[in-house]
Amino acid sequence: MITLIISLIDGNSLNQELMSPENLIVIIFPRYLIFCGLIPTYLLALLATTQIRSQDILIYQSRKVVVLQAIYRLCLTTIIMAGVWTVGTFLTITINHHFYFLAATWFTILVRAVCLWTACFLLGMIAITLTFAAKSKLTAFLISFSISALSFYLATAHIPSLLFDFGSADTNIILIGKETIMLGAILVFVAIMTQIIGRRDL
């Protein structure tokens, strides 16, 4: 519900501004609302469902099941929230009769949306890894959100920030390159999480 509200909250801006494809993209990806609303909600929803069930380890005789469960919950949370965000965004565009702009901007919007949710996925992966490493969801949330805050600050200072570059003036090719970097970072954290789960008492 919070995700839907955030995706709809800039709806009035569509009527108030002189609309153009560029303005539409800025309105669809409001960095401040994403930082203050979407990302904390995403992290809290993810961490609330992150848990270790010892009986699963005993049943499968392997700790890899914990890794798979963590990745599954991360994927599920991301898909649900991205779906709600997408529905809210298209609803706002349709209600305000700006659907015709999509013909010129659909690919740019798609690339930036993938960049946004890849950044969220990376933050989620960091949060889960920290949860297993520190055995504290609060610590995991605070560190993950601090990383988001630093990235947001860099973005507002017009410095490349990676996590918030979906709202920058970068070209699609550059953003795709940054998405590739984030995917690589995700794989690194998967490996780190696997090592932590394999070696620590759960």
pLDDT confidence band for 175 (50 / 70 / 90): very high
User: What are 147's two structure tokens?
Assistant: 């990383």
CA distance 181 to 175: 10
Query: Residue 47 pLDDT > 60, yes or no?
Result: yes
- Which burial class, exposed, middle or buried, applies to 54 when counting CB atoms under 10 A from its CB (0-12, 13-18, 19+)? exposed
CA distance linking residue 89 with residue 83, whole number of Å: 10
Amino acid 201 reads: D
* Cα–Cα separations (whole angstroms), residue 128 to 2, 47, 49: 22, 7, 10
Q: How many domains does the chain have?
A: 1
- 107 pLDDT band, cuts 50/70/90, is confident
| Alpha helix (H) residue ranges in 61-166 | 64-95, 102-134, 137-156
CA 4 to chain CA mean position, Å? 15
* Residues 93 and 24 sit within 8 Å (Cβ to Cβ): yes
DSSP 8-state assignment for residue 158: T
Structure confidence at residue 17 (pLDDT): 47
Percentages (nearest 5) of helix, strand, coil residues in the chain: 80, 0, 20
Q: What is the mean pLDDT of residues 118-137?
A: 94
Those residues whose C-beta lies under 8 Å from the C-beta of residue 100, and which sit 6 or more positions away, are none
41-50, 99-108, 147-156: segment of lowest average pLDDT: 99-108
Domain around 96? 2-199
Structural contact between residues 47 and 141, judged by C-beta atoms closer than 8 angstroms: yes
Average pLDDT in the chain: 83
**Higher pLDDT residue, 66 or 126?**
126
Q: Residue 126 and residue 167: Cα distance in Å, rounded?
A: 22
* C-alpha to C-alpha distances, 131 to 47, 104, 141, 182, nearest whole angstrom: 8, 42, 8, 20
Is residue 16 very low, low, confident or very high in pLDDT (cuts 50, 70, 90)?
A: very low
